[in-house]
Structure 1
């Protein structure tokens, strides 16, 4: 494979080889799971020392690290000794972007990524493959397994104040009294809203496991007097009415029929004159960076298919979904860029038709 790559360097063949390589993505996930970057930074810089602290085979581990050095994650600082590059440093456990936690095979997303081995099944059926691999749908799995659920909450809280600041600043909260955050665990977005708009009180609804963790988190933040947390299922009749129902990165988890059912439940929970506000991934931008934005959009879209059976929607698709739920799109604020993530969000406001 290496000689073929060299023969076709810079050609379509080179591009195809880089695209079909499953070795590097899996090698990165193994490095993240074994915490190789942290061990290197702690002084274990050769394969025997790294194998000792990771309980792995020295020869096999050396071959893994040698490949990751070839692709620029690590570099050989002296014969047989390795250190992380700037790319490799992103895999440090305490790095603020938490890439190790996204990739590690014992963490929720890295674990779920293994469902891509059944992508052909997902494409053939339009159904997620996560349950076939782990025995339960994704959200049920996270709700039933406290360790997985807590790890997912921590991942979703990565740089959350900076991520939330832009969409919160872009929306007019001045007339909002009660925000009902449906599926809102671990509660970070509603906490940010409450801090930005002191007149707002809030309610979070989620499955029992996430609801319990969210209640504890909100109490620790000193906001329990302003934010209630309820355990429930958003496919059932919602127990609270509010003048603003918030769905933050929720509907991308579901296919259109299920997403429309959720929207109808939210519509029925509105006070007269109320609105539904979605925070979702923005559709790819047009212009010179279209390939980059297309890639982030499509990666998440395929993850939603394989993990959950959901989809990431374009603005036109949001209009169609709103109409199917008896709603009208009243505003779209897009794109909303954040300095800490490489993709854009959007805010979509809907009202009863």
Structure 2
């Protein structure tokens, strides 16, 4: 029953993010229910506003002093850090995308399973990313969503991976450049290139300026279906391989292999599914999300990754746990 009604709790949180309740409370510190109701223009009864805010309190997103008309609401510590849109630690971009795109699309999961076709904006024959990249607003939302969900894993990789024998890093499908920025920040000797389609470069350059790392992080543009990858000591892909079918995964890994020197490192940062396929529920759900988004993409286990890596010619494979359900699958040339 808890899972079956999970969309109730989900929509309460997603709507609060959309209304920017947490960002407003971060600025004003505390507000009453009537103040929040007036600020947001709610027309529902006061009782339902109390219920809505108290549900967020029961979930742990808000703190409350008083009750009903006398209640004052404020952010919990974690909410203030992660869900205030004005802070660099904001991870709500993915929640925004869940609300604006995926909430409705997942309502068609049955159709996706029956037909094997994507259930998103893409019409038959179109590519999801071409569609997204053609709409600047949706592209920015997608980029911020990916940055939010990947930040913790990228920070962990930048601190845990052995960079001592490398000087250059190439991040394929680098989006806003967060992985390159985290590596450059934690590894002062590294020069990084974030590589993506031309439409993404302005967003990445904006992030590079914000971090003041223009001297060691640069953007480069290309299409990984058409172009070879630039040479680098380390090639990374953050949540790239899972977008595609097995044939495309192999093609991308082969291009990474060709871009590396002997002893070079390829790193795939993904929600690697455990070998028993019964523990990393997020990885399994993300794989189903690839059905919704692409029709043929899927997440995978380390054994899957090792099979592909050996087929291409990599000589050793290992896994490095990062943050939450995310790990780095590592292959050495």
**TM-score calculated relative to the size of structure 2:** 0.78
Of the three residues 298, 306, 321, the one matched with 1:311 is: 298
Partner of 2:2: 18
Structure 2 unaligned regions, length at least 5: none
Confirm whether residue 27 of structure 1 aligns to residue 50 of structure 2. no
The question of whether the paired residues in 2 share the 8 Å contact of 1:282 and 1:334 is answered with: no
RMSD: 3.6
CA distance 1:297–1:62, change in 2 (3 Å) = farther
Partner of 1:299: 285
Q: C-alpha deviations, 1:285-316, integer Å up to 9, x for none?
A: 88xxx97x533322323333323443221111
**How many residue pairs get matched?**
321
CA distance 1:327–1:130, change in 2 (3 Å) = farther
Q: C-alpha deviations, 1:55-82, integer Å up to 9, x for none?
A: 33223x8536515635724669323465
The CA distance in 2 between the partners of 1:37 and 1:275, in whole Å, is 41
The question of whether the paired residues in 2 share the 8 Å contact of 1:282 and 1:314 is answered with: yes
Of the three residues 62, 76, 90, the one matched with 1:98 is: 90
CA distance 1:170–1:91, change in 2 (3 Å) = closer
Cα drift, residue 161 of structure 1: 7.0
The CA distance in 2 between the partners of 1:62 and 1:88, in whole Å, is 24
Cα drift, residue 94 of structure 1: 4.9
SS at match of 2:166: coil
The question of whether the paired residues in 2 share the 8 Å contact of 1:128 and 1:308 is answered with: yes
The question of whether the paired residues in 1 share the 8 Å contact of 2:31 and 2:74 is answered with: no
**TM-score calculated relative to the size of structure 1:** 0.74
Confirm whether residue 345 of structure 1 aligns to residue 331 of structure 2. no
SS at match of 1:176: coil
Of the three residues 39, 48, 53, the one matched with 1:63 is: 48
Question: Counterparts in 2 of 1:178-197, with a 5 A limit?
Answer: 178-197=168-187
The question of whether the paired residues in 2 share the 8 Å contact of 1:242 and 1:270 is answered with: yes
CA distance 1:125–1:77, change in 2 (3 Å) = farther
Partner of 2:32: 45
The CA distance in 2 between the partners of 1:330 and 1:200, in whole Å, is 23
Cα drift, residue 28 of structure 1: 2.3
Confirm whether residue 126 of structure 1 aligns to residue 116 of structure 2. yes
Confirm whether residue 268 of structure 1 aligns to residue 294 of structure 2. no
The CA distance in 2 between the partners of 1:298 and 1:62, in whole Å, is 39
Q: C-alpha deviations, 1:25-53, integer Å up to 9, x for none?
A: 22322222123345567455335x43432
Q: C-alpha deviations, 1:236-294, integer Å up to 9, x for none?
A: 122522333222221122222221222222233334554422222233488xxx97x53
The CA distance in 2 between the partners of 1:155 and 1:147, in whole Å, is 12
Partner of 1:5: none
Structure 1 unaligned regions, length at least 5: 1-16
The CA distance in 2 between the partners of 1:168 and 1:70, in whole Å, is 37
Of the three residues 96, 99, 102, the one matched with 1:113 is: 102
Cα drift, residue 318 of structure 1: 0.9
Partner of 1:9: none
Cα drift, residue 234 of structure 1: 0.9
Confirm whether residue 256 of structure 1 aligns to residue 246 of structure 2. yes
SS at match of 1:277: strand
The CA distance in 1 between the partners of 2:49 and 2:310, in whole Å, is 51
Q: C-alpha deviations, 1:185-215, integer Å up to 9, x for none?
A: 2212123323444443332210112123213
The CA distance in 2 between the partners of 1:99 and 1:81, in whole Å, is 31
The CA distance in 2 between the partners of 1:20 and 1:244, in whole Å, is 43
Q: C-alpha deviations, 1:159-206, integer Å up to 9, x for none?
A: 977643432333222222332221112212123323444443332210
